[in-house]
Amino acid sequence: MGKQFPAMLPEHMDFIRKQHMFFVGTAPLSQEGHVNLSPKGYNTFRILSERRVAYLDLTGSGNETSAHLDENGRITIMFCAFEGPANIMRLYGTGAVVLPESSEWETLYPLFDPMLGARQIITIDVHKVQTSCGYAVPFMTYEKERDTLQRWAEHKGEQGLHDYWQEKNSSTIDGLPTPLGKRLGR
């Protein structure tokens, strides 16, 4: 059943590279705050080392993850095998938000395919890796990526995206400010 590791092993990295989606879980410190769980797609996840990963965060209807990381840093990434042998893998760690004007962005962004609507990069220092059986996860066949978000971002244009970030991505549903919102002066 479940096993824990202090860092990713080569077989963990191989498993991650084969996945078409992952899930991101964060929560605010407040007991009344909402736990956030977000599915992520596209080719946006990168393994930087056995204990460090990052993903290119694209514009969404909310920006909970970044505010939670800014407040407390706690994050869990989960991958599920939908094809082949059953497996669930969780990466527990401390995350940080990298905005486009930072020097770290200049180092990290070239590792990703250019994507319209990229608003930030989330980095995670992994302190625990856990694998579990995944016996109840169904088989599903990958068909293709949706192009809806990319078409939407293209239609919005650069100014439209900035306006959207200011309106929809500056604070969480619990009212926590996001790093992007702070940068935009909201």
Q: Which of 92, 87, 10, 89 is nearest to 50 (CA)?
A: 10
Q: CA separation (Å) from 73 to 68, 123, 154?
A: 7, 10, 31
Residue-by-residue DSSP string for 25-46: EE--SSTTSPPEEEEE-SS-EE
Contacts of 109 (CB under 8 A, 6+ apart): 56, 100, 118, 121
The Cα 84–Cα 143 span in angstroms is: 16
Quick check: 2 pLDDT over 90? no
Q: Establish how many alpha carbons lie within 13 A of residue 178's alpha carbon, considering only the half-sphere containing its beta carbon.
A: 24
What would the pLDDT profile of 128-155 be if each residue is shown by its tens digit?
A: 999 999 999 999 999 999 999 999 999 9
Cβ–Cβ < 8 Å for 120, 182 = no
Residues of the chain with pLDDT > 90: what percent? Answer: 97
Mean pLDDT over each residue of the chain, to the nearest integer = 97
Specify the DSSP class assigned to residue 109: G
184 pLDDT tier (thresholds 50, 70, 90): confident
1 pLDDT tier (thresholds 50, 70, 90): low
For the chain, what's the residue count? 186
What would the pLDDT profile of 43-78 be if each residue is shown by its tens digit?
A: 999 999 999 999 999 999 999 999 999 999 999 999
- Structural domains in the chain, CATH included, are 3-181 (2.30.110.10)
pTM value is: 0.96
